[in-house]
Structure 1
Amino acid sequence: MSFKLALLCLGLNLTCINAQVGMPTNNPNKDAVLDLNRTDGTSAKGLLLPKVALTGLTSASPMTAHVAGMHIWNTATVTGTNGVSPGEYYNNGSKWIRVSSATDAWIQDGNSNGSLKVLGTNDAFDLPIETNGVEKMRVTSGGQVLVNTTTSMTGGTTAKVQINNGTTAGALQIKDGTENQGKVLTSDWNGVGTWQFPAVTPTYVGTWDSAYASISVKTADQTTQKYTGLSITLPPGKYYVNANFGFNIGNTTSWRYASYGLSATPSSGTPLQVHFIGGNPAMGGNTAMISNTSWIIDLSSATVNTKIYFYQCDVTVGNTTTSGCCEDQFFAVALRM
């Protein structure tokens, strides 16, 4: 009886003196309710959690209720959305949560899986991916991949890949060695796309400004360039450019020559290229002539569209006056070279 009383007194004394329990130490850490280390703060043994066969993440069974902070070692394997596998679990008050490790979690710097693993969600929620705290890509529960947008864009509810680049051109770039200026992405019977030249070669038509319906170039103006009012805008590439232009040559019985050129500016400057045309003196009098000149121009190094202007550069023998008749034409055909 005296021995039991002594133990009772010892227990009461420990309770009064310390709010901690130490096993086997008699000097438990003051911040720990239970200290399992030795007096020197070390131990050669571990804590063996109770082994429990859980029935699912959302089920408290075999316990009577979910208790937040409860830790156990699960021994059961249950498949399905709420399935569990052997390992350490804790309870958050409403379900069991597995304590992750490098073998069953996706970690920084990569995993050594050893077998196929799944990254994603087990319910009908999207999987967003962020950088610098901002979402940049999302895999939706419906199987869409959205880049720079959190919702499917107008008109693309059935599209599996959507890219929102705002108002900036060039949202998609595909390089496979077949890409080239002027090519388009073309599919084969199996849906495999490669870069191909279109079946119809793109043709670009210029415009004529009627404000230049009448300009005059005289023999004395041989070094003067005058804009004809014809222009054309071309994207980067190589082109065959053709110009038909009607003009009148003043009264003369001599050969008439006029040169025409292309310029990248609407003001006087060095032409990109110049061609000469001539008229037969046997025509005599005021003669109407149609110039038909063509060029091969290379704009492949350009990064933006280039506007080309058609000039009458000079005239030799006789005065010329342009006319705004129906023969004025300016067009370009893209070359596959």
Structure 2
Amino acid sequence: MRSATDNIGRHLADYIAGFSENIRKIFERFEFDKEIEKLEESNRLYQVVAQFAEIDLHPRRVDNITMGLVFEDLIRRFNEAANETAGDHFTPREVIRLMVNLLLEPDTNMLTQAGVIVTICDPAGGMLAEAQNWIRAHNEQATVKVFGQDYNPRSYAVAASDLLIKGHKDGQVVLGNTLTDDPFPSQRFDYLLANPPFGVDWKAEKKTIDRWPNFRGYNGKLPRINDGALLFLLYMMSKFQDYQAGDRDKPGSRTAIVFNGSPLFTGGAGSGESEIRRWSIEPTLPPSTIHHQIKQ
């Protein structure tokens, strides 16, 4: 019995190493190896593992929905520890459901058709599973492909494990900076939704962005350096599907995004914030400025 406790750390590491690469990446971004070391140093690892060994978490006993609820509760409890950047936060589930309903409800007739294929993107991470759940609840035969990105390693791990735990196989969540790195350069999406971090500056990204001829197709003034939330909106608009009135093959895209008051109301006429707001709602703009018509 004592030998088992002496080698529990090595055995646990070997167990984790046996998973597929995509699951190992999640463990790595959670820095699980460091957690094992901390528990070993405090002589608590065996006790923790022993407690989990007594719990039957087999899918026959705990289905994906129940496991997802447990996971969400843990995220709520330890959210502050899991998000290290100011302004980065966990979006309450009821807020996500409201956004998903507003985003998808108008297209219910289309989304309930047989054989429909839907693509969804969340460039800030965290909302993909709920959007996928809505579509599946209305159309079990729908093919839903989700794409996401997050720059915070632990937030990425949360989003990736959320999809994994709930059994969403048609999903791809990538670790990276949405403002400077586009993991889906040629991809357009039917629906986009995000809750970008509030009041987070984009000073670190400015040198890279300044070298570009435009930002994701927008060549006007950019927002002030102390809040990059509107840059997420520009990224999302660059991913819109082509739209043409009356053409069923070009229905365009729909998007939902959460802002605080700053990007919505700050900045007078001619400022970056004002120009982006104007650009995002104008029905027509010169082709050199915008290459995707917004779905009205």
TM-score by length of 2: 0.22
Which structure's residues are more often strand, by fraction? Answer: 1
- Higher alpha-carbon Rg: 1
Which structure's residues are more often helix, by fraction? Answer: 2
